[in-house]
Amino acid sequence: MDYIHKLKGLLPRSLHSHLGAVRRWLRTLPARTRRQKQRLLADPALEAKERSLLKLVETRISAGDGMYTGDGAHYYKVGLSAIRSIEEAIDAAQLGSVERILDLPCGHGRVLRFLVRRFPQAEMTASDLDRKGVDFCARVFGAEAVYSESNLDQFSAGEQFDLIWCGSLVTHLNDTGIRAVLGAFARHLQPDGLLIFTAHGERVIQRLQDEEFEYGISAENVAPIIAAYRKEGFGFADYPGASAYGISLTSPEWIRRAAAEIGLGEVYFRARGWDDHQDVYGFILTR
């Protein structure tokens, strides 16, 4: 889509945001995202089981999905990787039947599109602060829509779940926010339910240190959050202009301590388990 860049140079600044919308619309054209799936299906690196699941997966991607950068293969692989982690955690927890699943934050269904196919018998609830994402998940994947709260102490989905998947929210919250989200999940787990969430660990620190990716935080915040992580197992910096929303770094020990205070015990951990990037944790209620 090089012509969009060229066009940008010719147009006044006031029209640049419209160009962004056009670019997002063009890259999510159904024929394009369908082709991207077809190409990934031909990848010999996929396991047979993954190929069978991917075949079933919906290819409509919302133009508002911030997790879709135009690289369809990566987008679908992230979903497959989440399912791999979820299956491993289910095995580790010896979880029985999965009848009710909560995906929070669902975004625009990057993982939910896989969950609905992997657990076709389950009732799916999709929740996020981004109401357009929740509405998309309800419309396209048939999930029950629940709009979330910025203060997760106030969150209620009105029911409890066998399985909760939380992909990349702890990664954006400060200490108070992480405790609130873990508390919300503990309140929403069935007594023998399983919570699976992802967090930023050593892989992310490595990427920050190598300047491979800056994660949207100001350069001057990188060294202090890594130092705090090394000292206390926890570091956090707000995104520029944001309050209590940014990038967190969490050690497994810090997460285990915070979860234990809420009555959650670890049953599963895989460093960089999600997309060779974020750490994946599985927790169950201990009281």
Ligand X SMILES: C[S@@+](CC[C@H](N)C(=O)[O-])C[C@H]1O[C@@H](n2cnc3c(N)ncnc32)[C@H](O)[C@@H]1O
Task: Give me the residues that bind ligand X (CB under 6 A), please.
Answer: 67, 104-105, 107, 110-111, 127-130, 133, 148, 150, 152, 167-169
> Which C-beta is closer to ligand X: that of 111 or that of 262?
111
- Write a three-state SS string for 112-136: HHHHHHHCCCCEEEEEECCHHHHHH
> Which C-beta is closer to ligand X: that of 221 or that of 278?
278
> Which C-beta is closer to ligand X: that of 19 or that of 140?
140
Query: Shortest approach of ligand X to residue 60 CB, angstroms?
Result: 15
Contacts of 143 (CB under 8 A, 6+ apart): 103, 106, 109, 112, 116, 124, 125, 126, 137
| Measured distance CA(97)–CA(185) in Å, rounded | 19
| Measured distance CA(86)–CA(273) in Å, rounded | 10
Question: Which uninterrupted H or E stretch holds 106?
Answer: none
Closest CA to 62 of 128, 146, 152, 151: 128
Query: Shortest approach of ligand X to residue 172 CB, angstroms?
Result: 6
Query: Shortest approach of ligand X to residue 208 CB, angstroms?
Result: 17
| Measured distance CA(127)–CA(120) in Å, rounded | 18
Contacts of 4 (CB under 8 A, 6+ apart): 19, 22, 23, 26
When CB distances to ligand X are compared, the closest residue is 107
Question: Which uninterrupted H or E stretch holds 226?
Answer: helix 219-232
Query: Shortest approach of ligand X to residue 51 CB, angstroms?
Result: 21
Query: Shortest approach of ligand X to residue 12 CB, angstroms?
Result: 31
Query: How many Cα atoms within 13 Å fall on the side-chain side of residue 148?
Result: 25
Query: Shortest approach of ligand X to residue 130 CB, angstroms?
Result: 4
Give residue for tokens 């491979």.
Answer: 212
| Measured distance CA(4)–CA(202) in Å, rounded | 37
> Which C-beta is closer to ligand X: that of 105 or that of 193?
105
> Which C-beta is closer to ligand X: that of 56 or that of 242?
242
User: Left (φ > 0), alpha (ψ -120 to 50) or beta: where does 168 sit?
Assistant: left
> Which C-beta is closer to ligand X: that of 167 or that of 183?
167
Query: Shortest approach of ligand X to residue 11 CB, angstroms?
Result: 30
Query: Shortest approach of ligand X to residue 3 CB, angstroms?
Result: 28
Contacts 24+ apart (CB under 8 A), 220-227: 225/249
> Which C-beta is closer to ligand X: that of 169 or that of 194?
169
> Which C-beta is closer to ligand X: that of 94 or that of 154?
154
